[in-house]
Amino acid sequence: MLEEIAISRAIIDSYWRKLGKILEVDVVICGAGPSGLVCAATLAKKKKKVVVFEKKLSIGGGMWAGGMFFNEIVIQDSGKKILEEYKVRVRKYKKNYYLADAVECVCSLGYHVIKAGAIIINGVSVEDVVVRKSRICGVVINWSAVELANLHVDPLAVKAKFVVDATGHSSDVVRIVEEKSGLKLNTKIGKRVGERSMWVDLAESMVEKNTQEVVPGLVVAGMCANAVFGSPRMGPIFGGMLLSGKRAAEIILSKIK
Ligand code: 48F
């Protein structure tokens, strides 16, 4: 016989343990879009303790819907190799243009993130950071539903050696750091430069270079990196996002003790 209370207790006990595990981690990744997911999988494969906070219920960010809900994504040679590492089936369209099913991409990336040992917490937003001695050393989180309902509920904090802003166009974490920390970003103006209009080739070539530690302890990845450094958007091509996620992980791996 199945009991209602046993189900509730199983969920509470297990979630409680999960939350306990993520209070102090090596890396917090903010946002489970393509760049955040690749970053998480790359770090977790190297045995780093990783948690991904995703404000929506679903992971995948802008990857589900390809371009304008046509759920096919385009990638170039460099991105193709990464998708294949994650067992996504890639089809050639023409030289240097490949296609993959958008849903298969998100599911495969998510599967590998979890199997590599990273923990994904969905429905939770990063709403602030913790700063000590001019270094970002954690994030402040709350249920996304709290923000949606405009409730006055205080958040909780999580400690991390590194934080990755992979929140996409909105670059939420960098905005918070800029507004509240008094720290200067390592961009040419010391602040977020802002995203430029679409220019696929330039945007894709810049995103990996823009993937950097912008203030001590905070690395930017994916579309956030282009928004912070003033590069263009690229639309529904995803190679740069995947490469940026990998690059963010490599930067952290080279610095983390
Ligand atoms: O937007 P998103 O997919 O970011 P990305 O990895 O990829 C960008 C592409 O999807 C596309 C593009 C190029 O191909 O231009 O847009 O850079 O994923 C960002 C994720 O972060 C979540 C958001 O819901 C999304 O799933 N997110 C945003 N703000 C927060 C957040 C926040 N404050 N806390 C937690 N998650």
Per-residue pLDDT of the chain (257 residues; tens, 9 = 90+): 999 999 999 999 999 999 999 999 999 999 999 999 999 999 999 999 999 999 999 999 999 999 999 999 999 999 999 999 999 999 999 999 999 999 999 999 999 999 999 999 999 999 999 999 999 999 999 999 999 999 999 999 999 999 999 999 999 999 999 999 999 999 999 999 999 999 999 999 999 999 999 999 999 999 999 999 999 999 999 999 999 999 999 999 999 97
pTM passes above 0.75? yes
Q: Which of 168, 235, 233 lies closest to 196 in space, CA to CA?
A: 233
CB of 51 sitting under 6 A from ligand 1: no
Tell me the best of 22, 38, 53, 55 to mutate to test the pocket of ligand 1, counting ligand atoms within 8 Å of each CB and taking the most: 55
CB of 56 sitting under 6 A from ligand 1: yes
Residue 167 Cα to ligand 1 middle (Å): 4
Domains of the chain: 22-64+102-255 (3.50.50.60)
CB of 54 sitting under 6 A from ligand 1: yes
Residues 6 or more apart in contact with residue 241 via CB below 8 angstroms = 33, 34, 35, 38, 63, 79, 207, 222, 223
| Strand ranges in 144-178 using DSSP code E only, listed in sequence order | 156-165
- The tokens for 75 are 């990638």
Tell me the best of 37, 38, 39, 54 to mutate to test the pocket of ligand 1, counting ligand atoms within 8 Å of each CB and taking the most: 54
Task: DSSP for 17-81, please give it.
Answer: HHHHHTSEEEEEEE--SHHHHHHHHHHHHTT--EEEEESSSSS-GGGTTTBTTB-EEEE-HHHHH
